[in-house]
């Protein structure tokens, strides 16, 4: 099985080479919005889910190829900190490359001092915090029964005080589940205590694990983002059916892909992590703006960068 994937263009991390230290789908939570589908092994037991030496050998082979890379990112089939060898994994990656290392985590195991210690040498730790009260936490994250949202906030706050890298806190809001004003105020209070370098506001943009997990509308998301202060930015602004992804970094990703070779709707859907309908509308918007040209080849349609107007 492959435990190194990409590089994939990421809204937050640029070109990110993924390293997956667990097996599908092993997580401490079973979030309603998860794009990986339902959790099959919901656990808080840290173990060697994947052999670290094997991952590093695979990574070394991948890094021997010419790649455009902004980050090597620990993420993948669940919660990466469940792998008990993550400290050795980060140290091994560091020996193989100077590329910055990011860890995407749900933050739930930062209550364990060993996990906090293991993440010290990453360049970016991007934990999520979708709820701080038990009700919204249970509704959105559907956690392992042993997890306590108050303890996770305390752990994130302790980690932030001792960690010298960058913390990018992600808050993902689901309509009717964790977006009521009382919960939002509590999340904002927790975020002030954690004091991350960036706060990324997100909603249900990609196809969720549970079909009734709905996005918060763009207007509400903007109002909520303002309450998080200057560190906050919206990384996904849903605008309902027919949404078009026009965030500047998504446009840059698409145009940089099209600069290498003509792209299809499915190339773009995979690259930006959305469905083909959204990708098609986004590409059509870029054609209308004169940034891409639609070309037909045989039965297929491709989008080519317009060399005069289409430079990112």
Q: Is the Cβ of residue 34 or residue 224 nearer to ligand SF4 in the bound state?
A: 34
CA atoms within 13 A on the CB side of 225: 23
Q: Does residue number 203 form part of the binding site for ligand SF4 (CB under 6 A)?
A: no
Question: Minimal distance in Å, beta carbon 138 to ligand SF4?
Answer: 13
Indicate which single residue of 29, 52, 86, 122 sits in contact with ligand SF4 (rule: CB under 6 A): 29
The interface region with ligand SF4, picked from 27-35, 144-152, 179-187, 197-205 by CB under 6 A, is 27-35
Site for ligand SF4 in 87-116 (CB under 6 A): 106
Q: Does residue number 177 form part of the binding site for ligand SF4 (CB under 6 A)?
A: no
In angstroms, the CA 126 to CA 129 distance is 10
Q: Does residue number 130 form part of the binding site for ligand SF4 (CB under 6 A)?
A: no
Cα 253–chain centre separation = 16
The closest of 230, 232, 201, 229 to 217, measured between CA atoms, is 201
Cβ atoms of residues 306 and 292 within 8 Å: yes
Q: Does residue number 36 form part of the binding site for ligand SF4 (CB under 6 A)?
A: yes
Buried b (16+ CB within 10 A) or exposed e, 20-51: bbbbebbbbbbbbbbeeeebebbbbebeebbe
Sign, CA torsion 290/296/297/300: positive
Q: Does residue number 152 form part of the binding site for ligand SF4 (CB under 6 A)?
A: no
In angstroms, the CA 15 to CA 168 distance is 17
Cβ atoms of residues 39 and 77 within 8 Å: no
Indicate which single residue of 18, 21, 78, 136 sits in contact with ligand SF4 (rule: CB under 6 A): 78
Q: Is the Cβ of residue 34 or residue 254 nearer to ligand SF4 in the bound state?
A: 34
Q: Is the Cβ of residue 36 or residue 287 nearer to ligand SF4 in the bound state?
A: 36
Q: Does residue number 30 form part of the binding site for ligand SF4 (CB under 6 A)?
A: yes
Question: Minimal distance in Å, beta carbon 27 to ligand SF4?
Answer: 3
Question: Minimal distance in Å, beta carbon 197 to ligand SF4?
Answer: 21
What is the bridge-based pairing of β-strands 4-10 and 14-19?
Answer: antiparallel
* Binding positions for ligand SF4, rule: CB under 6 A: 27, 29-31, 34, 36, 39, 78-79, 106
């Amino acid at each position: 099985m492959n435990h190194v994937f990409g590089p994939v263009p990421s809204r937050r991390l640029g070109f990110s080479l993924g390293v997956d230290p667990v097996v599908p789908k092993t997580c401490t939570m079973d979030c309603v919005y998860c794009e990986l589908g339902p959790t099959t092994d919901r656990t808080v037991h840290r173990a060697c889910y994947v052999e670290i030496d094997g991952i590093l050998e695979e990574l070394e082979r991948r890094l021997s190829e010419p790649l455009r890379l902004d980050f090597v990112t620990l993420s993948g089939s669940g919660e990466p900190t469940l792998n008990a060898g993550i400290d050795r994994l980060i140290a091994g990656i560091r020996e193989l490359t100077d590329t910055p290392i990011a860890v995407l985590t749900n933050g739930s195991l930062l209550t364990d001092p060993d996990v906090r210690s293991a993440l010290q040498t990453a360049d970016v730790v991007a934990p999520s915090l979708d709820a701080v009260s038990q009700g919204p936490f249970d509704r959105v994250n559907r956690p392992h029964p042993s997890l306590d949202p108050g303890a996770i906030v305390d752990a994130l706050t302790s980690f932030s005080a001792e960690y010298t890298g960058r913390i990018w806190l992600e808050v993902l809001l689901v309509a009717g589940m964790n977006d009521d004003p009382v919960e939002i105020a509590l999340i904002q209070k927790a975020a002030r205590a954690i004091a991350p370098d960036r706060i990324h506001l997100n909603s249900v943009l990609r196809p969720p694990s549970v079909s009734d997990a709905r996005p918060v509308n763009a207007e509400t998301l903007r109002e909520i983002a303002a309450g998080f202060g200057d560190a906050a930015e919206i990384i996904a602004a849903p605008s309902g059916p027919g949404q078009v992804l026009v965030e500047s970094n998504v446009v840059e990703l698409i145009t940089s892909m099209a600069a290498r070779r003509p792209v299809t709707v499915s190339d773009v859907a995979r690259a930006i992590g959305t469905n083909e309908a959204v990708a098609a509308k986004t590409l059509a918007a870029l054609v209308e703006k004169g940034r891409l040209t639609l070309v037909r080849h045989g039965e297929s349609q491709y989008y080519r960068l317009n060399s005069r107007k289409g430079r990112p």
